[in-house]
Amino acid sequence: MIDVNDTGPAAGWETGEALELLRSEFPGGILREERFRGQTTIVVPRERALEMLAYLRDTEGCAFDFLTDVTAVHWPAREKPFEVVWHLYSFPRNVRLRVKVELGADEEAPSVVELWPAAGWLERECYDMFGVRFDGHPDLRRILMPADFAGWPLRKEFPLKC
Partner 1 sequence: MSEPLELQGADRDEGTVVLNMGPSHPSTHGVLRLVLDVDGEVVTRCRADIGFLHRGFEKIAENKTWTQFITWTDRMDYLAPVSNNVAWALAVEKLLGIEVPERARVLRVLLCEMARVSAHLLWLGTHALDLGAATVFFYTFQQREILYDLYERLTGARFTTSTVRIGGMARDIPEGWLDDVRAFADQVTKVIDECDRLLTRNRIWLGRTQDVGIISREDAIAWGCTGPVLRGSGVEWDVRRAQPYLDYDQYDFEVPVGTVGDVYDRYLVRMEEMRQSVRIIRQAIERMPDGPLNADAPKVVLPPKEKVLTSMEALIHHFVIVTEGFHPPEGEVYHAIEAPKGELGFYIVSDGGPSAYRCRIRPAAFVNLQVIEKIAVGQMIPDVVGIIGSLDPVMGEVDR
Q: Does 137 bind partner 1 (CB under 8 A)?
A: no
> Using the rule CB under 8 A, which residue among 29, 118, 133, 136 binds partner 1?
118
Our finding on whether 23 is near partner 1 (CB under 8 A) is no
Chosen residue from 66, 107, 108, 133 binding partner 1 by CB under 8 A: 66
Of residues 47 and 69, the one with the C-beta less far from partner 1? 69
Check residue 41 for interaction with partner 1 (CB under 8 A).
yes
Among 162, 26, 7, smallest CA distance to 99 is for 26
The phi-psi region of residue 90 (left if phi > 0; otherwise alpha if psi is between -120 and 50; otherwise beta) is beta
The verdict on 117 binding partner 1 (CB under 8 A) reads yes
Query: Taking Cα atoms as reference points, which of 100, 116, 111 lies closest to residue 39?
Result: 100
The binding site for partner 1 (CB under 8 A) comprises: 1, 3, 11-12, 36-37, 39, 41, 65-69, 71, 73-74, 85, 87, 91, 94, 96, 98, 116-118, 120-122, 125, 129, 142-148, 153-154, 158, 160
